[in-house]
Structure 1
Amino acid sequence: MNLSLVIPLYNEDESLPELADWIVRVVTAHNYSYEIIMVDDGSVDNSWAVIEELSSKNPCIKGIKFQRNYGKSAALNEGFKAALGDVVITMDADMQDSPDEIPSLYDLIMVDGYDMISGWKKKRFDNTLTKNIPSKFFNWATRKASGIYLHDFNCGLKAYKNKVIKSIEVYGEMHRYIPVLAKWAGFRKIGEKVVEHRARKYGTTKFGWERFVNGFLDLTSIMFVGKYGKRPMHIFGFWGSICFFLGFIMSIYLVITRLMYPETGLSNRPPFYIALTIMIIGSQLFLAGFIGELISRNSPGRNFYLIEKKLGINKTSAE
């Protein structure tokens, strides 16, 4: 199969028929073999009934329905599990992403050999103060933290090689940082394409200001887990050792000054309690590293590594 389109949605019953017709026109014109996977994230309107009707008319349209609202990341993760196409394209269901972008995104993956292409809505129709400024800040922060120089990490219109979406797990609010997840999984050829952004035709936005707080927390998590997930002692043990060493040196200094100048006292001096606190913090960090190592060693993915190729290795010889 050439192409899978994964469309997460929540209360978008008005836009789905028009969006499906538009996608079908584009992919049919380019002779793609395709599937459209619509993931209903616990909608309370008639979205699922619309998906069922569309699927009855076109078997290439498939659906997944959540029992309740889990969020966009969960919807994408389930859609990725089901996707069979060589190229997987995601887009939002609100008609703000143009299906006319599909052929150029497909060619960037299949012809130009990119692992992933992220859309850039250079000209936007929702440049409100509450969305534009925080979005620019988080895009800047993500670029600096990840080393991936994209302008719009949160654009819903993206294209992937199938092996990329099968190699990552999207959860929480991580859909904003799929390029970062892909990079940590070893996919380096990540590009960007300016895409058309359309004014919303139906409904209202489903995201509020809290997404920026959650996005910052998820960025911190993904950077930490990606770098230290399999070796937590390297971070906790390092800083624990530094703290304990500083506190220990300070304590030695205080003891020496107490012996040289008995009148200065020891436990009645603020530096004594500062040194003691630093040593306790250092010990706790070091123990956290040990606990992290125990959890890591017993996790199902402790020895799971993404292998791109094997040469002269088969199941029998590996055993």
Structure 2
Amino acid sequence: MISIVSPFYNEKAILEASVRLMLKNLAALDEDWELIVVNDGSTDGSPEIARRLAAGNDRLKVVSYTPNRGRGYAIRTGVGEARGEIVVTTEIDSSWGDDIVPRIVATFRARPDADIVIASPHMPGGGYRNVPRLRVFL
């Protein structure tokens, strides 16, 4: 099984479309998978959107806590909930691109000796999509 962990904080404006896109892309995988979205203490109504999307979908799990504790805590929390033999962390806004999960899984499968695969926008073929310039600068 592949577990995808994607934290979010106050993403009401994009959450539904982002999760639906992720679910669509993951459905194309030839492996069993789960998507774990981690609410990092959001206050804008995005947790309710996530719970609504997860209702009746046993592949989508929502983990929530308060207060906001940061991305690192959210990732650790999501990884702790993961059941997969491969765990992929990615951004809720798909800024790494729609194909990042299949590419990471393929790399793991091609390198059974690997314990970790790290995607970097600074590697050949890497880059950002739909990321504000200020965020890239910071």
TM-score normalized by structure 1? 0.39
1:53 corresponds in structure 2 to: 52
Deviation, 1:62, is 0.6
Using the alignment, how far apart are the partners of 2:97 and 2:104 within structure 1? 12
Using the alignment, how far apart are the partners of 1:32 and 1:19 within structure 2? 21
Percent of counterpart pairs with the same letter? Answer: 24
CA contact (8 A) 2:19 2:92 kept: no
The change in CA–CA distance for 1:69 and 1:62 in structure 2 (over 3 A counts) is: same
RMSD: 2.4
Using the alignment, how far apart are the partners of 1:196 and 1:21 within structure 2? 23
Larger radius of gyration: 1
Are residues 1:67 and 2:57 paired? no
Unaligned ranges ≥5, structure 2? none
Using the alignment, how far apart are the partners of 1:42 and 1:36 within structure 2? 19
2:79 alignment partner, SS class:
helix
2:31 corresponds in structure 1 to: 32
2:120 corresponds in structure 1 to: 120
The code of the aligned residue for 1:120 comes to S
CA contact (8 A) 2:12 2:49 kept: yes
Deviations 1:226-273 (A, max 9, x none): xxxxxxxxxxxxxxxxxxxxxxxxxxxxxxxxxxxxxxxxxxxxxxxx
Q: How many residues are treated as equivalent by the alignment?
A: 136
Deviations 1:131-189 (A, max 9, x none): xxxxxxxxxxxxxxxxxxxx6xxxxxxxxxxxxxxxxxxxxxxxxxxxxxxxxxxxxxx
Are residues 1:108 and 2:107 paired? yes
The code of the aligned residue for 2:63 comes to I
Using the alignment, how far apart are the partners of 2:53 and 2:78 within structure 1? 17
CA contact (8 A) 1:8 1:76 kept: yes
CA contact (8 A) 1:15 1:95 kept: no
1:315 corresponds in structure 2 to: none
The code of the aligned residue for 1:199 comes to N
Deviation, 1:14, is 2.1
Choose between structure 1 and 2: higher helix proportion: 1
- Is 23-32 or 72-81 further displaced after alignment? 23-32
The change in CA–CA distance for 1:82 and 1:194 in structure 2 (over 3 A counts) is: farther
Using the alignment, how far apart are the partners of 1:195 and 1:116 within structure 2? 18
Using the alignment, how far apart are the partners of 1:61 and 1:17 within structure 2? 13
Using the alignment, how far apart are the partners of 2:80 and 2:23 within structure 1? 22
Are residues 1:200 and 2:137 paired? no
1:238-257 to structure 2, matched below 5 A, reads none
Using the alignment, how far apart are the partners of 2:18 and 2:84 within structure 1? 19
Deviation, 1:57, is 4.3
Deviation, 1:30, is 2.3
CA contact (8 A) 1:120 1:194 kept: no
Deviation, 1:111, is 2.5
Using the alignment, how far apart are the partners of 2:56 and 2:96 within structure 1? 23
1:305 corresponds in structure 2 to: none
1:1-319 to structure 2, matched below 5 A, reads 2-113=1-112, 114-122=114-122, 194-200=125-131
Deviation, 1:95, is 3.2
The code of the aligned residue for 2:121 comes to K
Using the alignment, how far apart are the partners of 1:195 and 1:82 within structure 2? 29
Using the alignment, how far apart are the partners of 1:120 and 1:79 within structure 2? 21
Using the alignment, how far apart are the partners of 1:111 and 1:90 within structure 2? 19
CA contact (8 A) 2:3 2:84 kept: yes
Unaligned ranges ≥5, structure 1? 123-150, 152-192, 210-319
Using the alignment, how far apart are the partners of 1:86 and 1:53 within structure 2? 27
Deviation, 1:194, is 4.3
